[in-house]
Amino acid sequence: MGYQSRTFIESGRIFEALVGNGPVVVPKSRADPWLAWSDRPVEEQIGEGRPTLG
């Protein structure tokens, strides 16, 4: 089970994220960075695009 800081969840600012919960994807397109899930290959997630919650 993963966990994250409350500040990150509330603000969405990557600077507030705890490290070690999964890789941070930094798109070359200069889109906002996003956290990949740690239970699936990162390559698959990048191929699908940025995930959405809900």
1 is a domain residue: no
Q: What is the dihedral of CA 11, 13, 14, 17, to 10 degrees?
A: -30
Could you read off the pLDDT of 15-43 as tens digits, one per residue? 888 876 677 888 888 888 888 877 788 88
Q: What is the pTM of this model?
A: 0.51
Which residue has 């993963």 as its token pair? 2
- Position 54 in a domain: no
**Strand pairing class (34-35; 24-25):** antiparallel
CB of 27 within 8 A of CB of 33?
yes
Q: How confident is the model at residue 46 (pLDDT cuts 50, 70, 90)?
A: confident
Q: How many domains are contained in the chain? A: 1
What is the domain extent for residue 37? 6-48
Cα–Cα dist 30/28, whole Å: 5
- Decide if 12 is inside a domain: yes
